[in-house]
């Protein structure tokens, strides 16, 4: 009985007080047929910061042509084959493609970023659907910037409701943890102190 309790207790504190990501980052590379072998062209960085129930997204991308470019979280952390192996948009709930403000949208639908023609395109946005934990967790997935504009599902193209008709993939990067909360360092210790008398009692059985 004692061993069983200790196992359950450890699972409880591990599952409930594990460190959570509060910042994530993707280093973005130009789409390439030769990934990951050979030299790769770095074209920017995208940061994701937890702010309550909102994720703040900001980044800098180099080399975009003037105009709007589809900007999405894709399913897989595979940047090979001109970013095609990143798969489709991250869509765990099986919804149609839409705008970031739509109820019916992929989790990964972040709309467009707009380039003005200067070498570096900087942008920022906020989103309440993507997350750094839970079922909408984007950690370990890919961010993809497209060569064309996302029509947000409003176009009449055959792929408007799946990809936004955003065209080929210009660049992509894997989203990884940059910073975690320190809750795992304090809460398990506090929980252990509370349960210690009970653990000692169970040792008798």
Out of 25, 30, 105, 109, which one is annotated catalytic? Answer: 109
State the greatest distance between any 2 C-alpha atoms of the chain, in Å, as a whole number.
Answer: 74
Out of 25, 30, 97, 105, which one is annotated catalytic? Answer: 97
Contact (Cβ atoms closer than 8 angstroms) between residue 162 and residue 88: yes
Integer angstrom CA distances of residue 123 from 13, 102, 162: 39, 21, 24
How far apart CA 61 and CA 108 sit, in angstroms, is 18
Integer angstrom CA distances of residue 9 from 3, 6, 14, 63, 205: 10, 5, 9, 52, 17
69 is catalytic: no
Out of 30, 105, 141, 146, which one is annotated catalytic? Answer: 146
Question: What is the β-pairing status of strands 54-62 and 120-127?
Answer: antiparallel
Out of 25, 30, 69, 74, which one is annotated catalytic? Answer: 74
How far apart CA 164 and CA 8 sit, in angstroms, is 47
Q: What's phi and psi for 107, nearest 5 deg?
A: -55, -40
Out of 106, 150, 151, 165, which one is annotated catalytic? Answer: 106
Out of 25, 30, 89, 141, which one is annotated catalytic? Answer: 89
Tell how far CA 62 is from the center of its chain: 21
Contact (Cβ atoms closer than 8 angstroms) between residue 147 and residue 171: no
169 is catalytic: yes
How far apart CA 3 and CA 8 sit, in angstroms, is 9
109 is catalytic: yes
Contact (Cβ atoms closer than 8 angstroms) between residue 22 and residue 181: yes
Out of 25, 30, 69, 72, which one is annotated catalytic? Answer: 72
Catalytic site positions: 72, 74, 89, 97, 106, 109, 146, 169
């Amino acid at each position: 009985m004692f061993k069983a309790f200790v196992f359950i207790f450890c699972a409880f504190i591990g599952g409930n007080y594990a460190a959570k990501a509060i910042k994530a980052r993707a280093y973005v590379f130009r789409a390439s047929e030769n990934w990951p072998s050979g030299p790769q062209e770095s074209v920017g960085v995208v940061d994701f910061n937890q702010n309550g129930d909102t994720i703040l997204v900001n980044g800098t991308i180099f080399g975009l042509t003037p105009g709007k470019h589809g900007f999405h979280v894709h399913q897989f952390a595979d940047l090979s084959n001109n970013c095609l192996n990143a798969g489709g948009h991250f869509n765990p709930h099986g919804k149609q493609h839409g705008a970031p403000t739509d109820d019916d949208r992929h989790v990964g639908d972040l709309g467009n970023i707009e380039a003005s023609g200067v070498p570096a395109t900087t942008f920022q946005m906020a989103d309440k659907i993507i997350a750094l934990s839970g079922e909408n967790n984007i950690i370990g997935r890919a961010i993809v910037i497209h060569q064309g504009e996302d029509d947000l599902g409003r176009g009449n193209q055959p792929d408007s409701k799946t990809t936004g008709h955003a065209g080929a993939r210009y660049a992509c990067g894997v989203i990884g943890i940059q910073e975690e909360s320190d809750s795992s360092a304090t809460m398990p210790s506090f929980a252990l102190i509370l349960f210690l008398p009970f653990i000692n009692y169970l040792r008798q059985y």
